[in-house]
């Protein structure tokens, strides 16, 4: 982040705006809505500003700028079309250590005015750090259509009842779950429909029911019976591009108290989890398991048993070589509620982002996903069933065994000229693709090795990459030859 987003209280705070035209009017309008005491200094002040700031709370000074007007001001805005004057205001503010914004001049700004979505008390600010203000405004317009106007009233109702909820639900986790249920259920729907009185009644009824449930527990088992019920969400994080997450995945990631994540989960996806959630790395790479699977299972069970909402964030899809099935078996045995959210598996992402359709009426009528290694860590040697020339084979975890896999396929009867593609970092900006045949791909990769994670796509469809590719970098034969010469 080049700038850090903060929300300041400007109620009754003195602010100076240098300029009396349209630009100054726009800033004055925003700051007056925030409750600021605004002083305008300019030789000419527009009629619109005089109407906007016509009460005794604000000051309009028809005069040339002088640094004496900076005294006691919290922030200063320079909104004139006089470049020399704007630079002078900036220099004077710097000397007095007063934050200043020179409109449309990012190098002279200590702070930036964001595009604002106002659902007070919910306020969203969007900034491009001065690089693309039009894009920030378009983003704001999109958010305006997605966020109901009732959000503000819903937030106000929550604020009004916050103390009462705190007194009746003693635990932080319990209160969080209470509010999540309210904000995602009947209460919010009533508020969004404009039925605010009914929404308030529904919220109070929900609170009373929760309070009665907690109060009705007695005896030595009271703590066990009243603790919030935890849940485990096994979420497919997709291939790495955060735009490929499902809405449900994002919603559950935002609710998590703790996140256990794999090595294949990108930083961009992890950043979308709730900011204050605990994030625990339990990743696995070839021959290097940070945490054994049975230990991961127990960690999730233990966290859920304390009432936490647990997200198990897995690269790709949990049920495609993701051990999701083993994990829900463990949850079921421990009587832990769970949900599974599908994700875009690497094979689909690699196919779509490289222009290699996994099935095609002219080339392949079926597709098979195959792992390079079995549960015991032994190599997968089942090549006899992979010889159909009209079937696409996708090897997961196969790059380090590419020589064994290609040789095994040819020995089993697959044609040596069968096309093959290596897709590295599928869907990410670092994606690379290398194509060849079963006979020559090993030599090509040795000459110009691609990084993991990567998978192999074997079959006639791989030759369509040159025609249909639209994303990322393709390692052409000329690139490979040049790289090989440089290695000599």
Q: What is the pLDDT of residues 308-326, one digit of tens each?
A: 989 999 999 999 998 999 9
For Cα atoms 414, 418, 424, give the angle at the middle one, nearest 5 degrees: 115
Distance separating alpha carbons of residues 300 and 320, to the nearest angstrom: 20
Q: Is 290 annotated as a binding residue?
A: no
Q: Which is more confident, 449 or 215?
A: 449
Average pLDDT over residues 19-30: 95
Q: What is the pLDDT of residues 347-362, one digit of tens each?
A: 999 999 999 999 999 9
Read off the pLDDT band of 224 (50, 70, 90).
very low
Q: Given a cut of 80, is residue 24 above it in pLDDT? A: yes
Find out whether 154 and 120 touch, Cβ atoms under 8 Å.
Answer: no
Rg from Cα positions in the chain: 30
Catalytic residue among 29, 284, 415, 440: 284
Q: Is 185 annotated as a binding residue?
A: no
Q: In this structure, how many other beta carbons lie within 10 angstroms of the beta carbon of residue 468?
A: 11
Residue 284: active-site member: yes
Average pLDDT over residues 81-109: 95
CA-CA distances (angstroms) from residue 371 to 169, 374, 378, 397, 402? 49, 7, 11, 6, 12
pLDDT at 287: 53
Read off the pLDDT band of 475 (50, 70, 90).
low
Find out whether 98 and 76 touch, Cβ atoms under 8 Å.
Answer: yes
Average pLDDT over residues 110-129: 91
Q: In this structure, how many other beta carbons lie within 10 angstroms of the beta carbon of residue 437?
A: 18
Give me 160's structure tokens: 């009004």
Read off the pLDDT band of 289 (50, 70, 90).
low
Distance separating alpha carbons of residues 142 and 122, to the nearest angstrom: 16
Q: Given a cut of 80, is residue 166 above it in pLDDT? A: yes
Read off the pLDDT band of 412 (50, 70, 90).
very high
The answer to whether the Cα torsion of 242, 245, 247, 250 is positive or negative is negative
Q: Is 231 annotated as a binding residue?
A: no
CA-CA distances (angstroms) from residue 193 to 196, 198, 333? 8, 10, 42
Average pLDDT over residues 302-313: 93
pLDDT at 484: 43
Residue 227: active-site member: no
Q: Is 357 annotated as a binding residue?
A: no
Q: Helix 151-160 crosses helix 172-184 at what angle (to 10 degrees)?
A: 150
Q: What is the pLDDT of residues 350-401, one digit of tens each?
A: 999 999 999 999 999 999 999 876 655 566 678 989 999 999 999 998 898 9
Report residue 56 CA to chain centroid gap: 46
Mean residue pLDDT across the chain: 89
Q: DSSP 3-state assignment of 365?
A: coil
Task: Name the phi and psi angles at 406, rounded to 5.
Answer: -65, -40
pTM score = 0.66
Average pLDDT over residues 121-146: 88
Average pLDDT over residues 168-192: 86
Q: Given a cut of 80, is residue 241 above it in pLDDT? A: yes
β-pairing, 115-119 vs 122-126, is antiparallel
Q: Is 337 annotated as a binding residue?
A: no
pLDDT at 210: 87
Q: Given a cut of 70, is residue 446 above it in pLDDT? A: yes
For Cα atoms 104, 107, 112, give the angle at the middle one, nearest 5 degrees: 55
Q: Given a cut of 60, is residue 35 above it in pLDDT? A: yes
Give me 256's structure tokens: 């998590």
Q: Is 320 annotated as a binding residue?
A: yes
Q: Is 158 annotated as a binding residue?
A: no
Distance separating alpha carbons of residues 78 and 19, to the nearest angstrom: 7
pLDDT at 459: 96
Q: Given a cut of 80, is residue 68 above it in pLDDT? A: yes
Catalytic residue among 262, 308, 314, 444: 262
Q: Given a cut of 70, is residue 482 above it in pLDDT? A: no
Read off the pLDDT band of 476 (50, 70, 90).
low
pLDDT at 283: 84
Distance separating alpha carbons of residues 411 and 420, to the nearest angstrom: 16
Find out whether 101 and 76 touch, Cβ atoms under 8 Å.
Answer: yes
């Amino acid at each position: 982040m080049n700038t850090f987003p903060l929300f300041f209280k400007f109620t009754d705070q003195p602010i100076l705006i240098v300029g009396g035209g349209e630009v100054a009017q726009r800033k004055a309008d925003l700051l007056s809505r925030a409750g600021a005491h605004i002083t305008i200094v300019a030789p000419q002040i527009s009629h619109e500003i005089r109407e906007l700031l016509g009460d005794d709370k604000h000051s309009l000074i028809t005069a040339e700028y002088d640094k004496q007007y900076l005294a006691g001001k919290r922030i200063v805005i320079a909104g004139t079309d006089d470049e020399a004057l704007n630079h002078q205001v900036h220099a004077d503010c710097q000397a007095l250590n007063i934050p200043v914004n020179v409109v449309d001049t990012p190098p002279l700004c200590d702070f930036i005015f964001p595009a604002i979505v106002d659902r007070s008390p919910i306020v969203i600010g969007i900034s491009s750090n001065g690089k693309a203000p039009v894009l920030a405004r378009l983003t704001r317009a999109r958010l305006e259509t997605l966020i109901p106007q009732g959000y503000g009233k819903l937030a106000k109702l929550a604020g009004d009842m916050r103390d009462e909820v705190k007194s009746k639900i003693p635990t932080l986790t319990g209160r969080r779950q209470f509010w999540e249920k309210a904000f995602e259920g009947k209460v919010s729907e009533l508020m969004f429909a404009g039925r605010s009185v009914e929404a308030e009644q529904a919220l109070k009824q929900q609170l009373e029911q929760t309070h009665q449930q907690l109060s009705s527990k007695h005896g030595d088992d009271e703590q066990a019976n009243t603790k919030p019920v935890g849940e485990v969400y096994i979420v497919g994080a997709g291939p790495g591009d955060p735009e490929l997450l499902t809405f449900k995945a994002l919603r559950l990631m935002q609710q998590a108290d703790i996140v256990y994540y794999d090595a294949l989960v990108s930083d961009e996806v992890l950043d979308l989890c709730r900011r204050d959630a605990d994030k625990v790395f339990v990743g696995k790479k070839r021959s290097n398991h940070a945490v054994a699977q049975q230990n991961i299972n127990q960690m999730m069970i233990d966290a859920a048993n304390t009432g936490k909402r647990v997200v198990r964030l897995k690269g790709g899809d949990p049920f495609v070589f993701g051990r999701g099935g083993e994990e829900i078996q463990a949850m079921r045995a421990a009587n832990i509620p769970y949900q599974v959210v599908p994700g875009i598996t690497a094979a689909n992402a690699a196919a779509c982002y490289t222009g290699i359709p996994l099935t095609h009426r002219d080339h392949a009528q079926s597709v098979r996903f195959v792992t390079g290694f079995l549960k015991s860590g032994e190599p997968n040697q089942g090549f006899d069933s992979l010889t159909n020339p009209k079937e696409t084979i996708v090897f997961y975890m196969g790059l380090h065994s590419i020589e064994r896999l290609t040789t095994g396929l040819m020995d089993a009867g697959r044609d040596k000229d069968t096309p093959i593609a290596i897709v590295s970092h599928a869907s990410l900006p670092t994606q690379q693709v290398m194509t060849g045949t079963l006979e020559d791909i090993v030599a090509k990769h040795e000459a110009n090795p691609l990084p993991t994670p990567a998978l192999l796509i074997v079959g006639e469809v791989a030759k369509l990459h040159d025609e249909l590719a639209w994303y990322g970098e393709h390692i052409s034969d000329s690139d490979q030859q040049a790289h090989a010469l440089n290695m000599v």
